[in-house]
Amino acid sequence: MVTFAGKLVLAPMVRAGELPTRLLALKYGADLVWSPEIIDKKLLQCTRQVNDTLKTIDFVVPSVKDGKPPTVVFRTFAELERGKIIFQMGTSTPSLAVEAARKVIQDVDGIDINAGCPKHFSIHAGMGAALLQTPDVLCKILTSLVEQIGKPNSKPISVKIRILDSEDLTLKLVRRLCATGISNLTVHCRTTPMRNRQAPIRDYLPRIYEICQAHGVSLIMNGALQNRLHFYEIRKEMGLPTDIGGMMADCAEENPTVFSETPLRWFHVVKNYLEIAHQFDHNVSNVKYMLTRMTPGKSKFYQFFTRCKTMREVDHVAAQLSDEGTMVCDPTLFLDQCRQQEKEAKNRANQAHSQDGKHNANSNFQKRHLLDTRDSDLSQSKKSKH
């Protein structure tokens, strides 16, 4: 069974926590990686597929449109992720949580329940941070998962929370959570209304740790950790034991190599990321999203990447990045030509559609004319008989 104690891990991040980011984080020293939050009902719509081409396990939702490829909801590469991938689930119903977890448990190394995300996509229908207001439901979810999924499969069940409005309320909740049989508790050291730009409140950690220790539960702290060395500094400054782990989100989104004691510069991160994205045929939309997170906003390359619409364009722009982060050649003309070609192709398609419309209209007119002529001839024939 995977252990969490003292580990430095990649946080669950919607859009940012897809396979290429996770593999890059692992390559540069992440001990464990979390999947993005995936809602139980969404997972239950999925079909598990073995991707022989990419050597991955894919959970996909079939397309509702003919000819469209299925949507990959979750993809894992066991060769590098086995023993290190924790699947985070959004749920508010014990039975659905168990059913969804059962579907994925053989391909991951633990199930984590999201009880900390304050955003609408997570808290609607009582999920995410909304579970902090319904601790009975949260505890029932965790107990059900421990008994029906964790123990039978020898896989850990964990939960990620935020602190509450006071230390006493927080500790009361922690006691209840630890009593459910979970293996790990991750605490985002901010309250639900707090934003990431606000300094985390880490004062509760020593007493939270005591409760966790009494129940045999490991503890991971989350909030404003900048890199591996900063994680070590925070633990030392606060006098925290070395078996308290750390979780990184925003800084790891901008640079997944911050798990190394010597992180790469952003332009090397971009090159490394793209190499992995190509290996796993990653979709251009998410690639573009990540590149705009990794590239400094003041860099001209930020604007170049935002203009890209295909992997061909992304690759051309990235090829203009030198090993020193300078520009080899301005890609503006190339991108302008791509947009012009796109515009011309759209115009040709519109013209073809218009011609088809005219052709269909003429065809319909001719059909109506033939029918009218036939009806007229029949009418004249009847009159002549009479």
Q: Does some domain include residue 327? A: no
Q: What is the CATH number of the domain that holds 179?
A: 3.20.20.70
Q: Does some domain include residue 295? A: no
pLDDT category of residue 374 using cuts at 50, 70 and 90: low
Q: Does some domain include residue 372? A: no
Q: Does some domain include residue 299? A: no
Mean pLDDT of the chain: 93
Q: Does some domain include residue 298? A: no
Average pLDDT over residues 223-239: 97
More confidently predicted of 41 and 345: 41
Q: Does some domain include residue 72? A: yes
Q: Is the CB of residue 244 less than 8 Å from the CB of residue 205?
A: yes
The whole-number pLDDT of residue 386 equals 46
- Alpha-helix runs per DSSP H in 310-331: 311-319
Residues 6+ apart with CB under 8 A from 349: none
First to last CA, the chain: 97
Q: Is the CB of residue 10 less than 8 Å from the CB of residue 252?
A: yes
Q: Does some domain include residue 35? A: yes
Question: Beta strand 184-188 with 71-76: parallel, antiparallel or unpaired?
Answer: unpaired
Its domain, for residue 136, covers: 8-263
Question: pLDDT exceeding 90 applies to what percent of the chain?
Answer: 85
Report field, pTM of the whole predicted structure over 0.85: yes
SS3 state at 368: helix
pLDDT category of residue 352 using cuts at 50, 70 and 90: confident
d(CA 43, CA 89) in angstroms, rounded, equals: 9
How many domains does the chain divide into?
A: 1
Of these residues, 117, 178, 212, 308, which one is catalytic? 117
The whole-number pLDDT of residue 121 equals 83
Q: Does some domain include residue 360? A: no
Average pLDDT over residues 177-187: 98
Does the pLDDT of residue 271 top 70, yes or no?
Answer: yes
Known catalytic membership, residue 189: no
Does the pLDDT of residue 368 top 80, yes or no?
Answer: no
Structure tokens given for 234: 């925070």
